[in-house]
Amino acid sequence: MRTLLLLSWKNIWRNKGRSLALMMAIILGIAAGLLMFGLVAGLVMQRFNGLVENHLSHIQIHHKDYLREQENKMILPNPEQIRQGLEGLPNIKGYAFRTLSFGMLASGYNSSGVKITGINKAEEEGISKFKDNIIDGEYLDESLRNPLLISQRNARKLRVQLGGRVVLTFQNLEGDLTSAAFRVSGIFRTSDSNFDDLNVYVNQADLQELLGENEAYHQVAILLDSRDEAENIAGLLSEKLPEVDIRSWSALSPELRILVEQGGFIMYIFMIIILLGLSFGILNTMLMAVFERVQELGMLMAIGMTKVKVAAMIVLETTFIALIGGVIGVILGLGIHSLFAEEGLDLSGFADALAEFGYDAIIYPLLEAKDVGITIIMVFITAVLAAVIPAIRAVQLNPAEAVRK
Amino acid sequence: MNWILIFKLAWRNLWRNKRRTLITAGSILFAVILALLMDSMNLGSHEQIISNSLRFGTGYLQIQDTAYFETPSLDFAFDLDDHREAALNQLLGLHAYAVPRVESFVLAAGESETRGALVIGIIPELENRMNGFQNFLTEGEILNDDDQMVMIGSGLAQRLSLSLHDTLVVIGQGYQGMQAAGKYPIKGIISHPMEFLDNQLIYLPFEEASWLFVMDGKASHWLIMADTDKNALRVQQEIEKLLQGTELQVLHWKDLQPDLVKALAFDAVSGRIMQFILYVVIAFGIFGTVLTMTLERQKEFAILVSLGMKRHILALQCFIETILISILGVGAGIVLGFPVLFYFNRNPIPLGEGLSDLVKEYGMEPFLPFSLAPTVFIFQGVTMLILTLIITTYPVWRSLTFPVLENLRR
């Protein structure tokens, strides 16, 4: 066995050019694969954090039927009991009670369907970074009567400016239509243009007054220390508060769950195409190498090397090349990755395009040990599999004829 | 220099060792097929996204008031005079057609619930020609032009607790601040593939919608559908002439959806990066094969040179050989790749369960679509030829510099 290892090792360096070409292919394949994996995972993570920090949070509490029917009158029963239930739970960073209404936003020029969220600034502070999205004006200026936050997209559509007047129309808790004038206090822009089209923010007390109930809340958003705790704590809460609907982020946004679970799907297709290209390169090069070395292989067999050993030798050679290429590839990939992981990859040139998909302009690639492991194993398996056919061809040689070539 | 002789030599060399030629050509063939697959998938999804957003959204072109793009308000509704409308229809010809629309937000109410909804005034026949919305009908019937009835999205129906033949009430703002209110029986319920539309969609016949918003037959904008983008661009120029002297403008979908155009450009760039990585990996694979092939023939080269063959002629011969092999590989790759792409074009790969829901939410079909556009084949073929041309430098360089004596004795 030692002889075989030594022999294969020496064989690689007999033809440096060829081995180096194969190694380069593997190095670049692995490095590029890792980088792309990191980038995609970074994008997914960024989208996740963006949604969670903007409005989703980790857990939300609603009236039993609210998420299905979304009617304004389905307010949370007994908010005081919910507050008590939340006290003393582990891993909770903060929570906020929100008042919601679906209705119509109109200016003198135009109208648009929106979801109105009534927020309590002090409570939101603890769980959301929505404030950072305000690009003009102030975050619900208290000195105005009925202040409102509108997205840049809607402001353009309705032709309103800071201080401008808009009218919100929606159903109050009695089921009657109610309208009220609001003043634009601030303009926001998130990285998700669909969200921007559909959302406006007002002060909770203003909205509650219009709904006709000072303790009207539709939603409690809860932020945890880590997203992994969400299922656990949602379960704990459900036991304490059986008469309301409590869901974790994965149940609230199936889209997000799929993104987190299957975001790598396209990457795997890409990796498979790269690996197919790689395997065919290795296969052909090793096959040519076997044909070039017919005489030598015949000689080895003639002096008594068994067929198994000849085949093993070819496979081992490929394995060595894959190992060297793999190690260097991982180092290179991780090196470039760590370069971008800190600074972030600045794609500002595509900022609007990314916003169409709901992403920010600077991407911080993210690589998990699992992805690195999978990449290495996939490349390694590919290399060994690609060596099988050349090995079989080598074994099929007839020593007597091969020596004379 | 006897070109024909060199060419003949190269050609015969190729078939002297068939196996070697076929393996190298096979490398290239395989690479071409992979590159084709990747490019076709990329372009295919772009075509799908564009086609969806044109059919369900903006159309290829839009005629609208110059202020409407910034502020899509009914106040900027307009009427095409008979002369212009006739001229428009004439210049559109058989390759394109015009669809007038009325679009506005209203409050829609059922028995006890009220919420915001989007009224779209349509001419049912043209709408169906544009996006086949008839196929999404789940209950009831399609509207007629003179109906005073509505079709609504299934999501909206559920949220307002309405079913077929119930009455829907709409209240909104009409032309120049007029009050717009009406009540309509529900003639049909459609399940629109784009969820956010399904939750707020109300279709009214065009005439009725125009009456509801007190617009007196005006349209908020006109969509122009064409069979190809090229035709759309051609028609656009002529419409521009037609609209001279009015307050109206004609906009291309790329002007109407700048975000989409940028998103596609971004995706195209990331697609090209992935392709570039694939090329690099493939190139080293092919290089390995060519390298081995060259080294294998050192003795043959040495004999030729010692017999008096000029090195540069030998280099030329190597060059021609490699080019021939790559033409062979690229040609075979395209010939073999076409049926593969054709198959996937007709039988697109279905997406995994979870992912397909996600894609549906964006209004796309849950498949990985493949494109058969000629540019895919041309671009990949040419790129691969250039790639092999770069690789050819090795055998050429080698035949110019290899040591004769050592190799003779091999």
Q: Do A32 and B280 touch (CB under 8 A)?
A: yes
Tell me the per-residue pLDDT of B148-168, one tens digit each, with 9 for 90 and over.
Answer: 999 999 999 988 989 999 999
- The model's pTM is 0.77
Contact yes or no for B290/B322 (Cβ under 8 A): yes
Q: How confident is the model at residue A264 (pLDDT cuts 50, 70, 90)?
A: low
Could you tell me the two tokens for B106?
């209203």
pLDDT at A8 over 80: yes
Domain ranges of chain A: 2-51+260-404, 64-243
Amino acid identity of residue B152, one-letter, is I
Which of B39, B107, B353 should we substitute to test contact with A (largest number of A Cβ atoms within 10 Å)? B107
A270, closest residue in chain B (CA to CA):
B274
Contact yes or no for B352/B54 (Cβ under 8 A): no
Q: How confident is the model at residue B47 (pLDDT cuts 50, 70, 90)?
A: confident
pLDDT at A194 over 90: no
User: Using the 8-state DSSP alphabet, how is residue A53 labeled?
Assistant: I
Residue-number span of the structural domain to which B120 is assigned: 67-246
B180 within some domain: yes
pLDDT of residue A164: 92
pLDDT of residue B335: 93
Q: Which residue has the higher pLDDT, A256 or A389?
A: A389
Same domain, B242 and B109: yes
Q: Which residue has the higher pLDDT, A173 or B348?
A: A173
pLDDT of residue A152: 92
Same domain, B173 and B222: yes
A357, closest residue in chain B (CA to CA):
B263
pLDDT of residue B96: 86
Q: How confident is the model at residue A349 (pLDDT cuts 50, 70, 90)?
A: low
Tell me the per-residue pLDDT of A297-327, one tens digit each, with 9 for 90 and over.
Answer: 888 888 888 888 989 999 999 989 988 998 8
Percent of chain A predicted with pLDDT > 90: 24
Q: How far is A107 from chain B (nearest CA, A)?
A: 10
CA angle A228, A230, A233 (to 5 degrees): 125
Same domain, B126 and B175: yes
Q: Do A273 and B278 touch (CB under 8 A)?
A: yes
pLDDT of residue A61: 93
Q: What is the mean pLDDT of residues A74-98?
A: 88
Same domain, B33 and B115: no
Q: What is the mean pLDDT of residues B124-129?
A: 90
CA–CA dist A281, A270 (Å, integer): 17
Burial B241-274 (b: 16+ CB within 10 A, else e): ebbeeeebbbbbbeebbeebbbbbebbeebbeeb
Of B246, B271, B302, the last residue of a domain is B246
pLDDT of residue B353: 64
Nearest to B73 among A18, A109, A255 (CB): A109
B201 within some domain: yes
Alpha carbon A278 to its chain centroid, in Å, reads: 27
pLDDT at A57 over 80: yes
Tell me the per-residue pLDDT of B269-309, one tens digit each, with 9 for 90 and over.
Answer: 878 888 888 888 888 888 888 888 888 888 889 999 999 88
Nearest to B364 by CA among B292, B260, B265, B284: B260
Which of B28, B284, B357, B358 should we substitute to test contact with A (largest number of A Cβ atoms within 10 Å)? B284
Q: Which residue has the higher pLDDT, B102 or B409?
A: B102
Contact yes or no for A311/A392 (Cβ under 8 A): yes
A194, closest residue in chain B (CA to CA):
B196
Q: What is the mean pLDDT of residues A46-50?
A: 83
pLDDT of residue A114: 92
Chain B residues whose beta carbon lies within 8 Å of the beta carbon of residue A108 = 177
Q: How confident is the model at residue A355 (pLDDT cuts 50, 70, 90)?
A: low
Same domain, B225 and B300: no
CB neighbour list of residue B139: distance below 8 Å, 6 or more residues apart:
B163, B164, B188, B189
pLDDT of residue B410: 66
pLDDT of residue A100: 94
Of B246, B276, B296, the last residue of a domain is B246
Q: Do B112 and A175 touch (CB under 8 A)?
A: yes
Q: Which residue has the higher pLDDT, B119 or B95?
A: B119
Q: How confident is the model at residue A116 (pLDDT cuts 50, 70, 90)?
A: very high
CA–CA dist A202, B8 (Å, integer): 83
Percent of chain B predicted with pLDDT > 90: 27
Nearest to B354 among A262, A276, A280 (CB): A262
Chain A residues whose beta carbon lies within 8 Å of the beta carbon of residue B33 = none
Q: Given 3-state DSSP classes, what are the helix, strand and coil percentages for chain B, each rounded to the nearest 5?
A: 60, 20, 20
Q: What is the mean pLDDT of residues A63-89?
A: 87
Which of A288, A332, A379, A393 should we substitute to test contact with B (largest number of B Cβ atoms within 10 Å)? A288
B384 within some domain: yes
Max CA separation in chain A (angstroms): 101
pLDDT of residue B122: 92
Same domain, B201 and B266: no
Q: Do A353 and B285 touch (CB under 8 A)?
A: no
Contact yes or no for A73/A178 (Cβ under 8 A): no
Q: How confident is the model at residue B358 (pLDDT cuts 50, 70, 90)?
A: low
pLDDT of residue B243: 87
Q: How confident is the model at residue B52 (pLDDT cuts 50, 70, 90)?
A: confident
Same domain, B106 and B213: yes
CA–CA dist B366, B358 (Å, integer): 9
Nearest to B108 by CA among B73, B148, B151: B151
Q: Do B289 and A285 touch (CB under 8 A)?
A: yes
Q: Do A32 and B277 touch (CB under 8 A)?
A: yes
Burial A297-306 (b: 16+ CB within 10 A, else e): bbebbeeebe
Q: Do B26 and A277 touch (CB under 8 A)?
A: no
pLDDT at A147 over 70: yes
Q: What is the mean pLDDT of residues B318-329?
A: 90
Q: What is the mean pLDDT of residues B171-198?
A: 88
Same domain, B71 and B47: no
B18 touches chain A (CB under 8 A): no
pLDDT of residue B211: 92
Q: What is the mean pLDDT of residues A28-45?
A: 83
Nearest-Å Rg of the Cα atoms of chain A is: 31
User: Using the 8-state DSSP alphabet, how is residue B247 labeled?
Assistant: S
Of B246, B281, B306, the last residue of a domain is B246
Q: Do A108 and B177 touch (CB under 8 A)?
A: yes
Same domain, B170 and B86: yes
Tell me the per-residue pLDDT of A374-386, one tens digit each, with 9 for 90 and over.
Answer: 888 888 888 888 8
E strands in B328-368: 349-350, 367-368
Q: Do B291 and A112 touch (CB under 8 A)?
A: no
Pairing of strands A219-224, A92-106: antiparallel
A31, closest residue in chain B (CA to CA):
B277
B110 within some domain: yes
Q: Do B172 and A111 touch (CB under 8 A)?
A: yes
Same domain, B174 and B92: yes
A69, closest residue in chain B (CA to CA):
B159
Same domain, B165 and B39: no
Same domain, B34 and B78: no
pLDDT at A219 over 90: yes
Contact yes or no for B340/B37 (Cβ under 8 A): yes
Q: What is the mean pLDDT of residues A345-360?
A: 67
As for how many domains chain B has, the answer is 2
What integer best gives the mean pLDDT of chain B? Answer: 87
pLDDT of residue B183: 93
Nearest to A159 among B27, B71, B295 (CB): B71
pLDDT of residue B407: 82
B274 within some domain: yes
**Residue A401 vs residues A112, A395, B293, B388: alpha-carbon distances, Å:** 84, 13, 21, 35
